[in-house]
Amino acid sequence: MSTNELRSPASPMTIPATAAPHAPDAAAASDAPPARLPWPALLALSTGGFVTLMTEALPAGVLPAMSADLGVSQSGAGQSVTLYAVGSIVAAIPLTAATAGRPRKRLLLLAVGGFTVANAVTAVSGNYPLTMAARFAAGLVAGMLWALLAGYARSIVTPEQRGRAMAVAMSGATVALSVGVPAGTLLAGAAGWRVAFGLMSVLALALVGWIAAAVPPAPGRAEHDRLPLRKVLRMPGVGAVLAVTAAFVLAHNILYTYVAALLEPLHLGGRTDTVLLVLGLASLVSIAATGALIDRHLRTLTLTACVLVAVATLTLAAAMLGSAPWAVYAAAAIWGLGFGGVATLLQTAVADAADTAADLAQSLLVTCWNLGIAAAASAGGLLLDHAGPQSLPWSALALLALALAVTAAARRHGFPGKR
């Protein structure tokens, strides 16, 4: 989740205030090929999303080993996800407001450098409180990084490229879910979960150099362009997008955080990596479709995402009732098709609704996203301990029904039929 910025003076979409062009010049401009996407910069931003999501989600794939090594229960180790999310919640809005006027590139480098340190501490710590402190610190820098990615991507392209640029920038998060977390789970099984976190620290360090070389600088926002938070919250459509974000993310993470425990009754506890891989590969298909269609069909895509994840959740619940392990893989594929493009859809929706105040609106979305993650880790842990894993899909299904209802109702603002 990330902050959308006003275009920078050096942005490709900035047009100098000059006299109207002569007819031949206008004709030549209309024949000019469309501007190319700045791929090196966008891929660096995408890798930032990859690092952020990998750092956040990796514990879901290594909970048994992580809990055993730290001497706590799986629900206790699952609180590493909660504290990460709490850090993002604490940081997103105040840091976005406090740094609104600062150069964006400097903040981006600072955030990625923070991941280098936090993941290194997690990799070497044998102390549960220290590990949780490192996870909280990682969440703090994640709040700032998510508050930069989408806005940075939109600010370095032309207006008609913004949907595709955001899809590219956010694809790193989907790749993390699709192949990163399963690969990390496999690596953790072969070499230990600490090695997986250590490699994440090395990757973050390399990304610092990539951003320094490939990402163009972008200025902060002028003071007269900043709106108070209360005015942003009252903008038509912003509240609807935030409500959908909270419900959808809570539903997704109730299942995702405890996926290993969810698979145990189906005798698939040792196949967590394979199930996550199926989910992730389907997510890649979703993000590709989202990038191609988002500029024209945001409402339809969001409604479809809610329906698909609800169908996947219902399929998973049925599989647990009937002890049908094969249905889990079908559910994972449908789940990925629904979830893959959701981050881009919601970020674009809130940016469109907030218009020039999109930076603060994005920080609100970051906060709602991470409140959903934190609440899911806590609520999922309570459900797991007191009602068993079979309660998780039904709880998620109720939340998805709420997200679908709000999206359907927000036809005029938030998720309009025509953009």
Predicted confidence (pLDDT) per residue in 42-84, tens digit: 999 999 999 998 998 888 778 888 988 998 888 888 888 888 9
Is 225's pLDDT higher than 90?
Answer: no
User: What is the Cα 375 distance to its own chain's centre?
Assistant: 16
The angle at the Cα of 366, spanning 363 to 369, to the nearest 5 degrees, equals 155
Residues 6+ apart with CB under 8 A from 331: 312, 313, 315, 316, 319
Is 132's pLDDT higher than 80?
Answer: yes
Is 243's pLDDT higher than 60?
Answer: yes
| pTM for the structure as a whole | 0.75
Cβ–Cβ contacts within 10 Å for residue 97, how many? 15
Q: What is the dihedral of CA 275, 278, 279, 283, to 10 degrees?
A: 170
The pLDDT of 19-34, averaged and rounded, is 44
* Greater model confidence, 106 or 29: 106
The identity of residue 279, as a single letter, is: L
Q: Any long-range contacts for 221-228 (C-beta under 8 Å, 24+ apart)?
A: 221/5, 221/6, 221/100, 221/101, 221/359, 222/101, 223/101, 225/6, 225/356, 226/97, 226/100, 226/360, 227/356, 227/357, 227/360
As a whole number of angstroms, the distance between CA 229 and CA 364 comes to: 9
Q: Are 180 and 46 in contact (CB under 8 A)?
A: no
Residues 6+ apart with CB under 8 A from 29: 21
Weakest mean pLDDT among 217-221, 252-256, 316-320? 217-221
Question: Taking the CA atoms of the chain, what radius of gyration do you get in angstroms?
Answer: 21
Span 317-359, pLDDT tens digits: 888 877 677 889 999 999 999 998 898 899 889 888 887 677 7
Select, from the ranges 8-17, 145-154, 407-416, the one with the highest average predicted confidence (pLDDT): 407-416
Give me the residue label for tokens 């990304």.
207
The identity of residue 199, as a single letter, is: L
Record the tokens describing residue 164, joined without a space. Answer: 């595709």
As a whole number of angstroms, the distance between CA 142 and CA 129 comes to: 20
- What is the pLDDT, as a whole number, of residue 10? 32
The pLDDT of 199-204, averaged and rounded, is 96
Q: What is the mean pLDDT of the chain?
A: 83
Band of residue 407 on the pLDDT scale cut at 50, 70, 90: very high
